[in-house]
Amino acid sequence: MTGALRFLEHHAVLYRRTWKGTIFVSFVSPLLFLAAMGLGLGSLISSGPVRTVDGVSYLAFLAPGLLAATTMQTAYVETTYPIIAKIQWLRTYDGMLATPLTIGNVVAGEISWLAFRLTMVATIFFLVMILFGTIHAALAPLAILVAILTGLAFGAPILAFTATQRTDNAFSVIGRFIITPLFLLGGAFFPIHQLPQLLQGIAWLTPLAHGVALARGLTTGRITSSAGVDALVLLAYATLGIIAANITMRRRLSK
Amino acid sequence: MAAPPIRSNALIHARGLSKRFDKLLAVDAIDFDVERGEAFGFLGPNGAGKTSTMRMIGCVSAPSGGELSVLGMNPITDGPRIRARLGVVPQADTLDMELRVEENLFTYARYFDMPRDLARRRTRELLEFVQLSDRAKDEVEPLSGGMKRRLTIARALVNEPELLLLDEPTTGLDPQARHLVWDRLYRLKQRGVTIVLTTHYMDEAEQLCDRLVVMDKAKIVASGSPRKLIDQYSTREVLELRFSIDAPPSLDGKFEGLADRVEVLPDRVLLYTQDGEAAAAALHGRGVQPESTLVRRSTLEDVFLRLTGRSLIE
Amino acid sequence: MIATLSARRRAQPPAIDRAAHLVERNTILYRRNWLLIVSGFLEPLLYLLAIGFGVGALVGSSIVLNGRPIPYAVFVAPAMMASSAMNGAIYETAFNFFFKLKYVKLYDAVLATPLGVADVALGEIAWALFRGTLYAAGFIIVMVALGLVRSWWSLLAVPAAMLLGFTFAAVGTAAATFVRNWQDFDLVLIVMIPLFLFSATFYPITLYPGPLQAVVQLSPLYHGVNLLRSLTTGSIGPSLVFDLVYLVLLGAAGLAVAATRLERMLLK
């Protein structure tokens, strides 16, 4: 049995690593992406037909988008494989629940841990942005909060979903069919209004587009009139996600 | 230079066989022959060099010195041809965890270049033989230790090997699972399959082996049938005595003339004698009051103790 | 005696029919997980759409090739094809191979059969190549459909992607023999992500300052990108020979390292 656990644990770790390696994602990866795409590609764009994107340089446009997209990825990584490992493979929660801890404590604990990881990732990313000189507004540090909220808006619903799963099969599907497409097409790399009408509609249904728009407004100093709506959407996703996670975890762990 | 073919009727023939890993001499110039149709055992504690010897026979480890022929061929130059006729049950199961139970056997049969129809038939037969037919479509991981071991044995039989190598076939299994494995191995022996196994369980060696060698510290220290080894190196019976740990009595001179040999172990005293009951009675007459006494027949454990001064399982 | 024996010890040469059985094992596994194979095609496609068209709209035709400006998507598509060949080969070898080598000990069981270490290496690399070829063929069809192919030379793009796949599969297998635990894979990623971003994938190498151009030239992916881009845009030049030689040599070196180290690890 210990062999089985070790096997599955490593299996879980394998997929986490292939997703990108958590530490690497949080610092080196944004640094490289901003250098390669923001600076390199940015220099092409500055001599292209539009020169600026939504009124700012491509680097200034890209950086806050990547900030929000990165916390989305972190939230996905943290709420899939490690969680099912604790529910199903390592049975960590069973051990915890044999103590005075309640299921509510467990969910609150996981959400707090996620928030902590997101804070770390977002703060490091923000420092990289300062390094690249892409911070143009006094309210910019609020973008860290927006990024954390974006991460929670993805992480909490995914956590709720993970609690319903028996195997890890669905996670790579979420990664490939939701997270990666959103990362690439969800407004971080180019304005959403370039997408076909239908895809634009879909994009605005997800938290990422709102997180990107809000973070971008804050760091570029061009806060749009829909900022309030963006914030509400993020809050709604996160809150409903936490409620759902409480329900599904309770169903799963109190058999 | 090409190796001269080694002529011998033995299925495995080894002279001065050695294996060295950097500074460690794992197998030190051992000689043995395994004849067709017999069950041959390597008995010894962990680290005695049994697994290294098995890996050399299995052509996955090159000897560092000496002669070795397997099925009349040279393991270094004829590896693939020898392995085609061997069945190997390694110490760890090494099953293909990504494949289902029946797929494990089917793909393994294909590694031996067996036609697909035949591979499918062998898979069915072997699952039947190791009593896993109802788990054919299952994942491997949830199987119990005993089931995994049986599947590994089935896998080793897929090419109908002339020679079956088993490295610690029942280590880690519960008693019931061990007996099931022994039963299957016994049937194979009846069918004339030559079996070579390593074990550190004396009961396993006694149950399965026609002939065995006792290995210790890379060398063979004795060889023969289990019966012959016991006759040669031990007495008919053994009297086991346990004394109170809090107040161990002085035993100086108390065993004089009662036994051929006395072994004082940390937890008990062993008296090797032809008549255990008589020795116990005599001891009682001398005023020795052990907490418990037990008279039993000699086993390979006693042979090992005699030869090395140590127990098989530490 | 010891001396003569070790002198006689030599590696069992590979045989295609034996290696083929390992490929068959992988097809049996993936018959159940075909969705996993298909979805591997999605990521490079998304990159093509996002970067080629999404970002491409911002870039316009500011890239000049052979004296005429070309749409950005035409420029970036072959680079995405090359990157996906690299990713596919590395994931299949470095990650999956390591998993089978160290954790499920698959090869210990395989080597008890007539298959030898060289057969194992050949079989796994062939499988990685097979997958890579599937993706490359699919990708080039998408490129044709989107009008991103500018030359009949593109017919050679699939074999070129296979070569790139071979190079990275060989290097990945060699890398897997050095990996001690999962944490070490972060090192693999620390190499792969910069390769992906800085191998003239998103913009011409000429955009880099002179000394940096020399560094980029060291990247095997750069040579793969250059090769595929030359073929799909039809700008064939003598530099292709250099790209080919570089990829072949690196692949051969990776294979040699992998075979030697595996022999030592598995046949102690």
pLDDT tens column, C26-45: 888 888 777 777 777 888 88
pLDDT reported for residue A255: 65
CB contact under 8 A, C268 and B112: no
Strand partners, B18: B65
Q: Is B77 exposed, middle or buried (0-12, 13-18, 19+ CB in 10 A)?
A: middle
Percent of chain A with pLDDT over 90: 52
CA distances, B112 to each of A125, B129, C117, C120, C242 (Å): 55, 20, 15, 14, 42
CB contact under 8 A, A7 and B142: no
Residues ≥6 apart with Cβ < 8 Å to C77: C48, C52, C143, C146, C148, C232
Nearest to A167 by CA among A238, A97, A81, A108: A81
Percent of chain B with pLDDT over 90: 52
pLDDT reported for residue A2: 37
pLDDT reported for residue B25: 93
| Nearest Cα residue in chain C from A172 | C36
pLDDT reported for residue A185: 94
Residue A20 reports pLDDT greater than 70: no
pLDDT category at C66 given cuts 50, 70, 90 is confident
Min distance B18 CA to chain C CA atoms (Å): 9
Nearest to A75 by CA among A113, A126, A105: A113
Residue C89 reports pLDDT greater than 60: yes
- CA-CA distance, B270 to B306, in Å (whole number)? 11
Contact B217, B251 (CB under 8 A): no
pLDDT category at C259 given cuts 50, 70, 90 is confident
Min distance C56 CA to chain A CA atoms (Å): 9
CB contact under 8 A, A20 and C189: yes
For domain B12-225, the CATH superfamily is P-loop containing nucleotide triphosphate hydrolases (3.40.50.300)
Each residue's pLDDT tens digit, A83-133: 888 887 777 788 778 777 788 888 888 899 899 889 989 999 999 999 999
Please give the distance of CA B276 from its chain centroid, rounded to a whole number.
Answer: 29
Each residue's pLDDT tens digit, A152-170: 999 999 999 999 998 777 8
pLDDT reported for residue C91: 81
- Where does B133-245 show beta strands of DSSP type E? 163-167, 194-199, 211-216, 219-224, 237-242
pLDDT category at A18 given cuts 50, 70, 90 is very low
pLDDT reported for residue B289: 81
- CA-CA distance, A179 to C82, in Å (whole number)? 23
Residue C7 reports pLDDT greater than 70: no
- CA-CA distance, C104 to C118, in Å (whole number)? 19
CA distances, A225 to each of A186, A213, A231, C78 (Å): 20, 11, 12, 41
Please give the distance of CA A172 from its chain centroid, rounded to a whole number.
Answer: 16
Instruction: List chains adjacent to chain C, taking adjacency as at least 3 C-beta pairs closer than 8 Å.
Output: A, B
- CA-CA distance, B74 to A24, in Å (whole number)? 51
pLDDT reported for residue C4: 38
Nearest to C214 by CA among C227, C198, C201, C230: C198
- Contacts of residue A166 in chain B, CB cutoff 8 Å? none
Residues ≥6 apart with Cβ < 8 Å to B80: C12, C18, C114, C115, C116
Q: How high is the mean pLDDT of chain A?
A: 86
Percent of chain C with pLDDT over 70: 95
- CA-CA distance, C263 to C177, in Å (whole number)? 10
- CA-CA distance, B38 to B210, in Å (whole number)? 6
pLDDT category at C5 given cuts 50, 70, 90 is very low
Lowest mean pLDDT among B181-185, C3-7, C156-160: C3-7
Residue A17 reports pLDDT greater than 70: no
CB contact under 8 A, B65 and C110: no
pLDDT category at B248 given cuts 50, 70, 90 is low
Domain ranges of chain B: 12-225, 235-297
pLDDT category at C134 given cuts 50, 70, 90 is confident
Q: Is B227 exposed, middle or buried (0-12, 13-18, 19+ CB in 10 A)?
A: exposed
Residue B112 reports pLDDT greater than 50: yes
- CA-CA distance, A110 to A242, in Å (whole number)? 10
Mean pLDDT over C102-123 rounds to: 87
pLDDT reported for residue A4: 36
Q: Is C142 left (phi over 0), alpha (psi -120 to 50) or beta?
A: alpha
Most confident stretch, A141-150, B2-11, C207-216: A141-150
CB contact under 8 A, B92 and C105: yes
Decide which of A182 and C69 is more confident.
A182
pLDDT reported for residue C1: 35
Q: Closest partner residue to A47 among C62, C95, C103, by Cβ? A: C62
pLDDT reported for residue A16: 53
pLDDT category at A8 given cuts 50, 70, 90 is very low
Nearest to C84 by CA among C137, C28, C121: C137
Q: How many CA atoms within 13 Å lie on the side-chain side of C198?
A: 24
CATH 3.30.70 is the classification of domain B235-297: yes
